Structure 1
Amino acid sequence: AGDGKDFGGTGGMFNTGTAGPLRLFQSQLSGQISWLLPFALLGAAGLLLGLRRKQSLTDKHKESIFWLAWLLPAMGFFSVAGFFHQYYLIMLAPPIAALTGAGWVELFNFNRNLDGWKKWLLPVGLIGTTAFEIYVLLPYKTQIGLGLPIAVGAVGIGVSLILCLPSNTRTSIRSAAAVGGILILLAAPLFWAATPLLYGGNSMLPEAGPQLISSGNSGMPGQMQGRRQNETQDGTQDETQNQPQDQPKTQAAGQSKENVDAKLLAYLTDNNTGEKYLFATTNAGTAEAYIIKTGKAVMAMGGFSGSDPILSVDKLKQMVANKEIKYFLSSSGGPGGGNSEVTAWIIKNGKEVPQAEWGTSIENPVGGMGMNGSSTLYIINP
């Protein structure tokens, strides 16, 4: 699924497609955010119809411009951005939702009032968005079958035809068709949004879609992407490719509670004398496992990935003096993460705890984020 051959797209880093004006409509991203984007854009056009240069802006016009001023720059950014994760697209959700809802009301009023050529905008929007949703759904027929695409297509086409009926058609029928049209457009994105709850997923870099059914939710994003790239165009798995070994379902590498070193945890707990932090470590990928396991505070001195210099030497000195922290667990990247000055200060002023005292009952307990390396525990007393 999502082989990226449509609209010139390729997987790209973190499966975000190829930069270009149609990037949000490529298979890699369309199922993450773009379901209602065609209808939202047409709805925005309908909301701004009749706007004249010298005419005072109404509240409707102002609000429509506000949402467009949010949506269009964000679309432009993600169309050309070189690095981002799929879940960043959530920032497009509010303007798409607002313009879809307000636009539907405006286009429905055009259709109900038989307002000249404008009455055709609602059926055009429904049938166009229906076609786009079928395009998004079909590559996943192996995982979800053809029931949902057929239902979306049948209802979408049916209600659009009803809205094209002659002017003597009862208003109640038009109203029911318009409501049915917008509801069927919500069916597929509702299912997509539910897939992480139904099938699990990567909580570090979340995504949605039926690929979670067959992906096995393997470890890190690169592993999941590699698995997806080994799928054939019809969504089936290419068994000739080497597949990464599956991690436990719904857990990303470095995030599982089983990645906690029991012997290390026991040592740190027994020797805690009231410090706020159980210990400090290189990155959030290591710290979070101990936080989840114990509910206690653990400091990630290098931020999310270990490369962010979030802590100064002076601040660390103050924290040690205030008895907020005394243990520092390092990996091969150094105990200070992205700050070499912090690393040097810890090594100079800290005392290395003999590994025999705290041991390691799992391989590389401080690796997090898939990094490998030896581990060292330092203690600094005030």
Structure 2
Amino acid sequence: MSSATQSPPLTAPPTPRSAARGATRKHTWALLGICALAALLYGWALDSGDYANAYYSAAVKSMTGSFTNFLFAAGDPYGSVTAAKPPLAFWPQVLMVWAFGFHSWSIMLPQVIEGVAAVFLLHRTVRIWAGQNVALVAALILALTPVTVAINRSNNTDTLLVLLLVAAAYACTRAVHTGNGRWLYLSACYVGCGFLTKLMAAWVVVPAIALVYLVSAAAPIRRRVADLLGAGAVLAVTSFWWPVLFDLWPGSKPFMGATLNGGALENIFGYNGFGKIFNFGQQYGGSGLNVQLGAVGMSGGEPTVTRMFGPEAGGQISWLLPFSLLILAVVGAAGYRRLWHAIPGDRLQRAGWLLWGSWLLVTIAVFSFTEGIWHPYYTTSLAPAIAAISAAGLAGLWREYRHGGGRSWILLPAAVALTAAWTIVLISRDTSWHGWTRWVVLATAVLAVLGLVAGRAGGGRAAPGRWALLAGVVSMLVTPAVWSAGTAIEHKTNGGFPSAGPPNEALNALTRGELPPGVKIPGLEDVQARPPRGGGFAGATLSAENRKALDYAVRNSGNAEIALAVEGGGLAASSFIIDSDAVVVSMGGYLGADNVPSVGQLRQWVAQGKLRFVLSAAPGGPRMGGLAGMGGERQKERVAWVVGNCSAVDPAAYGGTPPQERLLPLPSFGDATLYRCG
């Protein structure tokens, strides 16, 4: 029978909906085992004391102090500025801190729970579409995705974002199957909650949800259009109620970080929204870290079509990306042949491919061409789509291998070979990190391809074919599994920029005051190696020097409401907030760029006796690794005002040491100087 008259196997898995209702005890235990594996990977050494993104951890601690701090995601205990993100991702962490106290594990525990919940919910979503076995494979792939392990071991917002987007996909799938618009409204609500987690990053899945419901829902076309309009209204309300509340709040509130005027809507349509896509609203007037991010492996690569495969993001997410794209190409070709020959199709199976395929392709397009700040850990939002497509595609290729006509059986061994080749390329970029797995991949892939060819020679039903399929799956998943386990064990390598795989030796060397071989940064060639002075890059532990300065400020502040204001934003102030109970103000938002407190506000605080001590930069020009120079013009104005209106405290008064002339190339804040104002 020709392929033109067959039912294309990739787009028509056998009765998945009945399989979804008929879960066996074996399936249940398998799902529990996958969820337990995910919990182990995400929660390993949860009590290590690593606060991951210290900037967010400081915000969580600050949010416990008052209702407005909680409601508006204050970045410091005084509530002077927000953490520049909506609060939804932080609220579970705050609740856990209220329940168990402020510890690194109480902040991370919600992330583990959310990560495991995403794995479970992806299984529930995929089984409706493709059955129990495919759903289990999808859940396993998501659990073993290296970047997902890394981000779920951090307190960044992406963990909750992925859970909410998978929940939206589940509700959309139910809406398509039932034709009930209420499920679509629920899907829109989940996306809106995702917006309150990471703003426009959540809207990337909106085209997929809208397309699949419009094309495939079990309802008349007028009803579908009306439901989509209603869902759009739900999306708008659930997305914007908090920003509008923030901007209309009549009482005191924090300044919205990463904005010029302190408004939430400005943040959405500026730095954290369209600014990330089109690279506007992000120029702080400084160089961020005074070091090119690419030199220390912290950039996301150039905005090109190959970004997802590059050295920055490739090892995080792209292990099964070529396989997924191949599957989508085969499905697209099968769908085209079906339309050309007017062969009836399965509406619900088409819906699944449209949902996950659109999710994957739209997200890749947005990520690949984003011109603003883009971090490789953002790719965790690709993981559910890759997992669903890869699992369903593998099942479809196996059916085609066994029952397909012509030469279509070649697709399965070809896909195994393609995936193995790309995996070996990724491993070879740094063989010092579990490079031995490339030999395992090569051996199992060769065994799989030869076994599949031999199995097909026996009619596609011989035992070698089944064992070859297992070998092929091993070749696909062994290295991501090893990378995931290694990332979990190396739990102290995440920090504020979570990543899987090899530790960032360039960044580590720079924090030690060293230049890695081959890295040339203008102005740093003559920097002498010396140990870090301070909490390091956005660290959570106060250095002995900074603790002495803080203790002195607390003892001598009298009745001042603010014990200490720290220049350099949350990057500099995080350790003061996390490692003490003092009321500390982080001046300038995240990197010191925000106009908060303004010079006028500083003057007013000092005149009213609210502030007596400021930790700012030593007099003179910006220094590499110093407090000044990262925040642009607003920071320069504050630094100049402090130098001109406050008196420097002799470090000998609190047992400190004078700032050194030679400073670390990454923030050690070695030029920090304590000033007394008023």
What is the TM-score with the length of structure 1 in the denominator? 0.70
Does 1:160 find its partner at 2:449?
yes
Gaps of 5+ in 2: 1-292, 619-626
Secondary structure (helix, strand or coil) at the match of 2:377 reads helix
Does 1:305 find its partner at 2:591?
yes
Q: Does the C-alpha gap of structure 1 residues 246 and 343 become closer, same or farther in structure 2, counting only changes over 3 Å?
A: closer
> Counterpart of 1:35 in structure 2: which amino acid?
W
Q: Does the C-alpha gap of structure 1 residues 329 and 141 become closer, same or farther in structure 2, counting only changes over 3 Å?
A: closer
5 Å matches for 1:88-107?
88-107=378-397
* Residue 321 (structure 2) aligns with: 37
* Residue 126 (structure 1) aligns with: 416
> Counterpart of 1:201 in structure 2: which amino acid?
T
* Residue 573 (structure 2) aligns with: 287
Match of 1:178 among 456, 466, 469: 469
Q: Does the C-alpha gap of structure 1 residues 220 and 275 become closer, same or farther in structure 2, counting only changes over 3 Å?
A: same
* Residue 208 (structure 1) aligns with: 500
Separation in 2, partners of 1:304, 1:67:
35
Separation in 2, partners of 1:63, 1:377:
62
* TM-aligned CA deviation for residue 318 of structure 1: 10
* Residue 31 (structure 2) aligns with: none
Q: Does the C-alpha gap of structure 1 residues 322 and 345 become closer, same or farther in structure 2, counting only changes over 3 Å?
A: farther
Q: Does the C-alpha gap of structure 1 residues 341 and 253 become closer, same or farther in structure 2, counting only changes over 3 Å?
A: closer
* Residue 673 (structure 2) aligns with: 375
Moved more, 252-261 or 153-162: 252-261
Separation in 2, partners of 1:101, 1:320:
62
Q: Does the C-alpha gap of structure 1 residues 243 and 170 become closer, same or farther in structure 2, counting only changes over 3 Å?
A: farther
- Kept after mapping to 1: 8 A contact 2:295/2:519: no
Q: Deviations over 1:306-332 (max 9, x none)?
A: 113465689889999999876543235
Does 1:61 find its partner at 2:357?
no
Aligned length: 354
Does 1:262 find its partner at 2:551?
no
> Counterpart of 2:495 in structure 1: which amino acid?
S
Moved more, 314-323 or 42-51: 314-323
- Kept after mapping to 2: 8 A contact 1:48/1:64: no
Separation in 2, partners of 1:80, 1:37:
17
> Counterpart of 1:60 in structure 2: which amino acid?
Q
- Kept after mapping to 2: 8 A contact 1:284/1:305: yes
Separation in 1, partners of 2:318, 2:657:
46
* Residue 137 (structure 1) aligns with: 427
Separation in 1, partners of 2:309, 2:330:
22
Q: Does the C-alpha gap of structure 1 residues 336 and 189 become closer, same or farther in structure 2, counting only changes over 3 Å?
A: closer
Separation in 1, partners of 2:370, 2:395:
33
Secondary structure (helix, strand or coil) at the match of 1:168 reads coil
Separation in 2, partners of 1:329, 1:284:
13
* TM-aligned CA deviation for residue 299 of structure 1: 3.3
- Kept after mapping to 2: 8 A contact 1:352/1:377: yes
Gaps of 5+ in 1: 1-10, 232-240
> Counterpart of 1:36 in structure 2: which amino acid?
L
Q: Does the C-alpha gap of structure 1 residues 36 and 354 become closer, same or farther in structure 2, counting only changes over 3 Å?
A: same
* TM-aligned CA deviation for residue 104 of structure 1: 2.2
Separation in 2, partners of 1:192, 1:245:
31
* TM-aligned CA deviation for residue 186 of structure 1: 1.8
Q: Does the C-alpha gap of structure 1 residues 148 and 341 become closer, same or farther in structure 2, counting only changes over 3 Å?
A: closer
- Kept after mapping to 2: 8 A contact 1:253/1:368: yes
Separation in 1, partners of 2:650, 2:325:
61
Q: Does the C-alpha gap of structure 1 residues 336 and 108 become closer, same or farther in structure 2, counting only changes over 3 Å?
A: closer
Secondary structure (helix, strand or coil) at the match of 2:615 reads strand
> Counterpart of 1:263 in structure 2: which amino acid?
K
Separation in 1, partners of 2:507, 2:642:
41
Moved more, 280-289 or 270-279: 270-279
* Residue 329 (structure 1) aligns with: 615
* Residue 188 (structure 1) aligns with: 479
* TM-aligned CA deviation for residue 132 of structure 1: 0.8
* TM-aligned CA deviation for residue 108 of structure 1: 2.6
> Counterpart of 1:289 in structure 2: which amino acid?
S
Secondary structure (helix, strand or coil) at the match of 1:156 reads helix
Separation in 2, partners of 1:49, 1:374:
63
* Residue 8 (structure 2) aligns with: none
Kindly indicate which of the two structures has a greater share of residues assigned to helix. 2
CA root-mean-square deviation: 4.7
> Counterpart of 1:62 in structure 2: which amino acid?
A
- Kept after mapping to 2: 8 A contact 1:281/1:328: yes
* TM-aligned CA deviation for residue 34 of structure 1: 1.4
- Kept after mapping to 1: 8 A contact 2:403/2:460: no
* Residue 6 (structure 1) aligns with: none
* TM-aligned CA deviation for residue 259 of structure 1: 2.9
* Residue 440 (structure 2) aligns with: 151
* TM-aligned CA deviation for residue 243 of structure 1: 9.5
Separation in 1, partners of 2:511, 2:433:
22
Higher relative contact order (CA 8 A, sep 6+): 2
* TM-aligned CA deviation for residue 128 of structure 1: 0.3
Secondary structure (helix, strand or coil) at the match of 2:508 reads coil
Moved more, 335-344 or 179-188: 335-344
* Residue 147 (structure 2) aligns with: none
* TM-aligned CA deviation for residue 127 of structure 1: 1.0
Secondary structure (helix, strand or coil) at the match of 1:294 reads coil
- Kept after mapping to 1: 8 A contact 2:615/2:672: no
* TM-aligned CA deviation for residue 279 of structure 1: 3.0
Identity of aligned residues (%): 24
Q: Does the C-alpha gap of structure 1 residues 22 and 262 become closer, same or farther in structure 2, counting only changes over 3 Å?
A: closer
5 Å matches for 1:43-54?
43-51=327-335
Q: Deviations over 1:260-286 (max 9, x none)?
A: 523112224435779886533222221
Separation in 2, partners of 1:103, 1:322:
67
> Counterpart of 2:459 in structure 1: which amino acid?
N
Separation in 1, partners of 2:485, 2:466:
29
Does 1:86 find its partner at 2:394?
no
- Kept after mapping to 1: 8 A contact 2:561/2:611: yes
* TM-aligned CA deviation for residue 151 of structure 1: 0.8
> Counterpart of 2:573 in structure 1: which amino acid?
A
Q: Does the C-alpha gap of structure 1 residues 242 and 317 become closer, same or farther in structure 2, counting only changes over 3 Å?
A: closer
